[in-house]
Every structure is written in structure tokens, then in C-alpha cells.
Amino acid sequence: MDVTIRKATNADAAGISAIWEIIVAERKFSAVRRAWSADEQVAYLNRLSAREATFVADAGDRIVAFQTLDRWVIYPSFMDHVGQLGTFVLPEWRGQRVGQRLAHAMFAFTRSHEYQKLVIWVRESNTAAQQFYARLGFRECGRLSRQLMINDSYDGEVLMERFL
Ligand SMILES: CC(C)(COP(=O)(O)OP(=O)(O)OC[C@H]1O[C@@H](n2cnc3c(N)ncnc32)[C@H](O)[C@@H]1OP(=O)(O)O)[C@@H](O)C(=O)NCCC(=O)NCCS
């Protein structure tokens, strides 16, 4: 089945929240500890500025993946040209270029909204996501050790950047 890549609306909030539930339950891929409810997701979407967006992959009957773009910081700053991404694909849809298609749509959006650079944080143990971003042209530029504590285990965070 093919997917349509498009900008999210408030009507997608429940679908995005359902994906978060699964990602959070996996515990391996994100620093997020609790999924936002659909209402919290709507509040987040409504808080976004015109330069920020969530893109979704729509399979017709449900949302199967999404990618977020947020400004690096929300206060006016000399880092306004920097954005940060996050990408989340349902398990059964991984490895089918859905993430790559979301990223290409997002790159077009960022170029037309005055970004020059994108940054992502990826968990140190999440080497699949590091390879995904490397394939998109991101390069590692830093690490934070013991940045996450999950029960009694630590994980680090890898910082990656890509100039547009
Ligand atoms: C990481 C993730 C976003 C990738 O999205 P995807 O749709 O599965 O990836 P794609 O099919 O678009 O892959 C594009 C390229 O990325 C690389 N890649 C993707 N998944 C990979 C994996 N598991 N191992 C190694 N490389 C991988 C490959 O180079 C691939 O290109 P190729 O098929 O030509 O070799 C997705 O698997 C996911 O949501 N994982 C769980 C959540 C997560 O880790 N999110 C990132 C948090 S920052």
C-alpha cells in the first residue's frame, strides 16, 4: 500500500498519539517517557509557529508515520536558522522508505522557511536511526553520556547535524 506525505492537521492528532503510544512502549528508540494524548497533541500542533510543522505519512485508513520540525529554541535568537527533527514510523512500516520520503518533504519545507541547518538528537543505542540520518546526509557532531536513565540503565544521546 502506498502512502501520501502531507502536513498534519488537528484531525491527525489521534493518529499521531497512537504512534507515540507504540514508540514509547518499545522504550528503545526515544527519550519520551509518556505519549501525549490526542488533546495534548492538538495543543502542540496549535503552538507551532508558521516555520514549524509535523508531516505525516497517510495510508488512507490511518497515519503510519510522522516527522516533526521544531525551531532549535522558541525564543528569538541568533539560532533562528536551525531546526530540529524527529521521525517515527510504525514497526510494520519501517524499512519501506517512508522515513526517507517524510524527510525529503521536510527538507523542501525547511528550505522555503529560511532554515540553513537541521539538528537531531538520537539515542546512542539507536544505531538504526543514526544510520537512517547518516543516509540523509547528517553527520555526528557530539555526544552526551548517561543522558537518559531508564529504570537502572543509562543511555547516551548522539547529536547529528546537516546543512541544507
Ligand atoms: C529510524 C526510522 C525513522 C527510519 O525510517 P524508515 O522508514 O524505517 O527508513 P527508510 O526505509 O526510509 O530507510 C532509508 C535509509 O535509512 C537507512 N536505514 C533505515 N533503517 C535502517 C536500519 N534499521 N538499519 C540500518 N540502516 C537503516 C538505510 O540506509 C535506508 O536506505 P536503503 O534502504 O537504501 O539502504 C524508523 O525505522 C523508525 O521510526 N524507528 C523507530 C523510531 C526511531 O528510532 N526514530 C528516530 C528517533 S530520533
In the chain, the largest separation of any two C-alpha atoms, in whole Å, equals 44
CATH code that applies to domain 4-116? 3.40.630.30
- Please name the amino acid found at residue 74: I
The residues lining ligand 1, judged by C-beta closer than 6 Å to any ligand atom, are: 23, 29-30, 86-89, 94-100, 120, 122, 126, 128-129, 131-132, 135
Q: Are 93 and 64 in contact (CB under 8 A)?
A: yes
Confidence of residue 1 (pLDDT cuts 50, 70, 90): confident
Q: Closest ligand 1 atom, CA of 30?
A: 47
pLDDT beyond 90 at 61:
yes
Residue with CA at minimum distance from ligand 1 atom 43 = 29
pLDDT beyond 90 at 151:
no
Order of strands, sheet of 53-58, starting from the edge strand that comes earlier in the sequence? 4-7, 53-58, 63-71, 82-89, 117-123, 153-163, 139-150
Least confident residue range of 73-77, 89-93, 102-106, 155-159: 73-77
Q: Rounded CA gap, 19 and 161, in Å?
A: 25
**Torsion angle (degrees, nearest 10) of CA 99, 59, 44, 26:** -60
Q: Which residues does 11 contact at the CB level (< 8 Å), separation at least 6?
A: none
Domain ranges of the chain: 4-116
Kindly give the distance from the C-alpha atom of residue 48 to the centroid of ligand 1, in angstroms, as a whole number. 26
- Please name the amino acid found at residue 108: A
Q: Are 99 and 57 in contact (CB under 8 A)?
A: no
In this prediction, residues 17-43 reach a mean pLDDT of 96
Q: Rounded CA gap, 107 and 67, in Å?
A: 11
- Please name the amino acid found at residue 152: D
Q: Rounded CA gap, 2 and 83, in Å?
A: 28
- pLDDT, residue 115, reads 97
